[in-house]
Structure 1
């Protein structure tokens, strides 16, 4: 069990609005009427230390499409980890300049691991979160990229130990098949990862539907959990989640 545990509310952005996708499908989008900045302020007021932000336009197109909105979220006062559309060192630096504490590297972590290792040495392991979002296909945990739209050759079991050996500290892993489904987190995935790379601080994501999912993810070896749709749809409150 992780010795410390962080509950991280999430805001997914598309065209400056709060949305959620079902299993990462851009054609199966739910829009929420709340303004991103107001939602972030409510999370900050409740006591969240961290906020997770995904630029869905950026993830798909390879640019920082929602940077203006991201700056508004940073202003809410929480520490922000953000990703989506990061393709270059200049993008990383732009996010840091916008006030982001940790930059989430997804597609690049899969496509250009040697480049990401250079950035780990340059910026330090506390400033980067390696996102190894995965689904189980053909007998292995595969790692699609570009907003989960493009298949890649690398597998989770190859890259997770690679990054652990390279000095990474924070790894976020979403089971794509459970993301946005409210079907429960994939505990076997997190047990597998925590056993394979025990020195990484693992953030669980995808499928959380009830408070017990937070407890069981921690017991499975995660050191944090990202909460999206369950909070937006009132399955439980952020205060209740933090109290877990």
Structure 2
């Protein structure tokens, strides 16, 4: 079944909110999509009528099995387009999100599966987020926020949770990207900022930034 761009945006927003807190309230969805609560209520009723949402009074909305499947397909399209734009067309990771927001609504499964094959079935997008496969399965990996990385442990950046233009600009300025190897040298108790050693220099980042940078280490 095909859905409108607005319906797809709602499903994707609800999926991301569920990942963080289990269910999605009307106010949380309104804030996520920068719209009015009344508009959210109308859309929730529409999506519920199509069997895409479950509703528990005083608790919130959650995706049904079909709703989750649809949301994962939208996310699959978005992240594959990000990978394509980054790896094949040379767009920077600050640019790919906005472009993929438009391309993700091209809903041909055959096209997306061919794109996936053409790209070599990448497991992660340019920001390190997992790309669902053709069956909606996501590859899990052990990762932790940089803020929790033990001192003097060598680690590799694998994901950036906050993908705002401001965050990505900061990381670019600090020379931190997916695949960057680093080591935490010091925690500063005053503001919980941390000093990290990169290959060619040492930089200091805030606690907020460190909580949004995820790493893997042995």
TM-score by length of 1: 0.26
CA radius of gyration, larger in: 2
Q: Which has the higher contact order (CA 8 A, sep 6+)?
A: 1
Relative to the length of structure 2, the TM-score reads: 0.28
Bigger helix fraction: 2
